[in-house]
């Protein structure tokens, strides 16, 4: 039965249609926010997937260019693989939803979001987040929701909620907060050095709005919600735990995991697992559940060590950062390079500079973003964690980590006018044991400075973890978590920023939300840690951007010309500009407003190209002295080319101070000569002289 629900959200109408479309899905909501329309569905398999030890949740966000009245570019006029924005949206939908499904649930679940229409003032990403939460809440899929999400901007120092396109363009903050009825469950932010106290204010202002949305969703569930279905639990039997603890007492497990070397820890666990496999060789059912049981046992022991004994697996203090190292200029021929090491996490970032014409073109639903001048790419090869698997290109995790580091660094980049380059940084993970994304922020900041990119200030990132007990007051925040503390803990709270404030946040949690005291402590801890990293480590490797780009990097000269003269520089079918490029070995970019960028590695060629362009756009006046090459000889005179496509004629009487009978007596093709402009002749053409050039 079709039902419609409406509420006012940030000055616009949010409408949810239930029972109108997609009735065969377990749950479906046709979302309308302003004129943005997204179909969100939640579907689960009837039976659990065999042979897995995790909850198989898949989140999809399908962008259709018809939603903004576009046909896809290129030869294939059909949407292909998901765009980077679509991948990032899938991740931001997944993160608040995943912790609320039962941990022992093994049925496949797919949350699908189809973008049908886009109103630029009502973000389809936010609409899809709300739609997925509603579709799952009204379905029969086990889910401890609902959740709600709000976007926050900061315009002229004031918070704005679910900002419009115009507000997003001038906002100093792009924050998304997801909440349950009691707590904050997800934070994602990019910011222009927003102070910590302002960020906390924004987070909890969004949390308050989320409570109104949750109340609205609960009304929908009350009317349309299905009873949650029963499922087969894959929880580890208590009797198996009891037997494991008899064979491997907690003290033995604690000794196995208590080391700062990841490989040693893994070998210790292998020995324990082999011991248990031998003990349960006759019990096939328990053998199947043994890997999960050993994982849960490790988790229980590690959490108890940290929470009750304040004892970390590698012996560090609760706020202690692992050993740090930083260096620049590892690679001699690249434009900039730096390596940052934190414990067993090691990232090398390489910076490449190019003309602005090499900025990335963006073909998506956001009409305000058509190109990206700064690109950050992150790679995570299997050897970095001691594993072997074929490389299949970047996955969602790599794309997400790259985008997070990119978001952290954009606020400190120079403007195009200050530094007219396209910039690409690539972070290569050499070794991984916790928070490589934030190590890539540190390495990238140094690499940019080493390349001579005049960034405003250094940026550093760090991650905090969390272990919670039975009550909201029973918790411990950990600074600089390693992999084990991430796997067995409750939170990965990543914050990047400068001395002045935060530039990026990404919060992943495995529990049903965080209280305000936990968030405030995590933000305070990350500030203290990142200032230490910048002041004590990074600045000792490189304290400020180099004054010039390196010798192997392209150099750029900028000049401005009359926009009406652009056609003269380009020439018919590009003939003139291509001739300049061929003769000088440079790259030339010209914008519609007459801005010209000349890019090359040789100063001589760049200056030559600049002089040619200046000559082409010059309106010759009497007395002006020019240089050029003789390109044509006639009976009545010679033609001199000053720049590609720009020629002038010297009459035979103006070639030499004495009378000559033939032009060839004085000039030959290819001669380089200096001439002076005499003004216009009787036919209105510019006339030049060689003999009247002042000595």
Q: What is the CATH number of domain 3-224?
A: 3.30.230.70
- List the Cα angle 192/195/196 in 5-degree steps: 125
Task: Give the C-alpha separation, 639 to 628, whole Å.
Answer: 10
The DSSP bridge pattern shows strands 57-63 and 107-117 to be parallel
> May I ask the CATH class of domain 238-309?
mainly alpha
Q: What is the pLDDT of residue 644?
A: 86
Which residues does 30 contact at the CB level (< 8 Å), separation at least 6?
A: 16, 17, 18, 20, 21, 22, 37, 38, 39, 40
- List the Cα angle 661/662/668 in 5-degree steps: 150
* Cβ atoms within 10 Å of 466's Cβ, excluding its own: 24
Q: In a 10 Å sphere around its CB, with 0-12 CB exposed, 13-18 middle and 19+ buried, how is residue 658 labelled?
A: exposed
Q: What is the pLDDT of residue 225?
A: 96
Q: Looking up tokens 């760090």, which residue turns up?
A: 462
- Per-residue burial over 400-430, b if 16 or more Cβ lie within 10 Å, else e, is bbbbbbbbbbbbbbbebeebbbbbbbbbbbb
Q: What is the CATH number of domain 625-689?
A: 2.40.50.140
- Per-residue burial over 17-29, b if 16 or more Cβ lie within 10 Å, else e, is bbeeebeebbbbb
The DSSP bridge pattern shows strands 686-689 and 646-651 to be parallel
> May I ask the CATH class of domain 555-616?
alpha beta
Task: Give the C-alpha separation, 25 to 113, whole Å.
Answer: 12
* Residue 448 DSSP SS3: helix
What architecture (CATH level 2) is domain 324-464+518-541?
Answer: 2-Layer Sandwich (3.30)
For residue 137, give Cα distances in angstroms to 132, 292, 500, 666. Answer: 8, 29, 41, 92
* Residue 319 DSSP SS3: coil
DSSP class of residue 69 equals T
Determine the angle formed by the axes of helices 238-247 and 284-309, rounding to 10 degrees. 70
Task: Give the C-alpha separation, 238 to 243, whole Å.
Answer: 9
Q: What is the pLDDT of residue 695?
A: 66
Quick: pLDDT tens for 78-116: 888 899 999 999 999 999 999 999 999 999 999 999 999
List every span in the chain annotated with CATH 2.40.50.140.
625-689
- Residue 657: both structure tokens together: 């101070």
Residues of the chain with pLDDT under 50: none
Residue 375 forms beta bridges with which residues? 424
List every span in the chain annotated with CATH 3.30.1370.10.
555-616
For residue 597, give Cα distances in angstroms to 417, 502, 589. Answer: 11, 33, 5
- List the Cα angle 217/223/224 in 5-degree steps: 85
For residue 632, give Cα distances in angstroms to 230, 278, 576, 669. Answer: 91, 94, 18, 7
List every span in the chain annotated with CATH 3.30.230.70.
3-224, 324-464+518-541
């Amino acid at each position: 039965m079709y039902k419609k629900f409406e509420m006012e959200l940030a000055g616009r109408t949010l409408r949810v249609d239930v029972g109108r479309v997609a009735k065969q899905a377990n749950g479906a909501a046709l979302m309308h926010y302003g004129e943005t329309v997204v179909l969100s569905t939640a579907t689960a398999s009837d039976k659990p997937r065999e042979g897995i030890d995790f909850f198989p949740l898949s989140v999809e966000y399908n962008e259709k260019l018809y939603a903004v009245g576009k046909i896809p570019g290129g030869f294939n006029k059909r949407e292909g693989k998901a765009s980077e924005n679509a991948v990032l949206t899938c991740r931001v939908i997944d993160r608040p939803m995943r912790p609320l499904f039962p941990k022992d649930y093994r049925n496949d679940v797919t949350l699908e979001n189809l973008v049908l229409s886009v109103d630029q003032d009502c973000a389809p990403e936010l609409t899809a987040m709300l739609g997925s939460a509603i579709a799952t809440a009204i379905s029969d899929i086990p889910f401890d929701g609902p959740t709600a999400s709000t976007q926050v901007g900061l315009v002229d120092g004031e918070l704005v909620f679910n900002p419009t396109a115009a507000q997003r363009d001038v906002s100093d903050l792009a924050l998304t907060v997801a909440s349950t009825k009691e707590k904050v469950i997800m934070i994602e932010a990019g910011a222009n050095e927003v102070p910590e106290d302002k960020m906390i204010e924004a987070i909890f202002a969004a949390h308050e709005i989320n409570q109104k949305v949750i109340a609205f969703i609960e009304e929908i569930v009350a009317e349309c919600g299905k009873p949650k279905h029963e499922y087969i639990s894959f929880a580890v039997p208590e009797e198996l735990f009891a037997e494991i603890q008899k064979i491997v007492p907690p003290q033995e497990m604690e000794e196995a995991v208590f080391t700062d070397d990841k490989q040693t820890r893994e070998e210790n666990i292998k020995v324990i697992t082999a011991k248990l496999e031998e003990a349960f060789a006759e019990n096939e059912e328990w053998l199947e559940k043994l890997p999960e049981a050993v994982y849960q046992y490790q988790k229980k022991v590690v959490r108890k060590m940290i929470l009750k004994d304040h004892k970390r697996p590698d012996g560090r203090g609760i706020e202690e950062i692992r050993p740090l190292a930083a260096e620049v200029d590892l690679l001699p021929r690249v434009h900039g390079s730096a390596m940052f090491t934190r414990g067993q996490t090691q990232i090398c970032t390489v910076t490449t500079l190019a003309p602005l014409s090499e900025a990335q073109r963006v073909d998506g639903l956001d009409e305000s973003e058509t190109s990206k001048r700064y690109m950050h790419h992150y790679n995570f090869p299997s050897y970095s964690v001691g594993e072997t698997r074929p490389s299949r290109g970047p996955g969602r995790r790599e794309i997400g980590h790259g985008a997070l580091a990119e978001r952290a660094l954009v606020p400190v980049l120079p403007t195009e006018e200050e530094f007219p380059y396209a910039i690409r940084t690539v972070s290569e993970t050499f070794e991984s044991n916790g928070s490589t994304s934030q190590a890539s922020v540190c390495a990238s900041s140094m690499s940019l400075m080493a390349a001579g990119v005049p960034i405003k200030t250094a940026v550093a990132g760090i991650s905090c973890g969390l272990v919670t007990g039975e009550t909201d007051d029973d918790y411990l925040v950990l600074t600089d978590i390693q992999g084990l503390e991430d796997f067995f803990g409750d939170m990965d709270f990543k914050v990047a920023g400068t001395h002045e404030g935060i530039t990026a946040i990404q919060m992943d949690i495995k529990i049903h939300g965080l209280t305000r005291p936990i968030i405030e402590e995590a933000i305070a801890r990350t500030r203290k840690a990142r200032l230490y990293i910048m002041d004590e480590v990074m600045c000792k490797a490189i304290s400020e951007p180099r004054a010039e780009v390196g010798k192997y990097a392209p150099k750029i000269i900028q000049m401005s010309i009359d926009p009406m003269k652009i056609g003269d520089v380009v020439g018919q079918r590009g003939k003139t500009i291509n001739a300049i490029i061929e003769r000088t070995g440079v790259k030339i970019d010209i914008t519609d407003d007459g801005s010209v960028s000349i890019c090359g590695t040789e100063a001589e060629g760049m200056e030559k190209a600049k002089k040619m362009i200046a000559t082409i756009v010059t309106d010759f006046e009497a007395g002006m002295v020019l240089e050029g090459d003789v390109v044509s000889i006639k009976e009545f005179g010679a033609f001199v080319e000053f720049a590609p496509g720009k020629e002038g004629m010297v009459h035979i009487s103006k070639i030499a101070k004495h009378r000559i009978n033939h032009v060839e007596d004085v000039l030959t093709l290819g001669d380089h000569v200096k001439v002076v402009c005499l003004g216009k002749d009787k036919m209105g053409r510019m006339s030049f002289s060689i003999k009247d050039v002042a000595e």
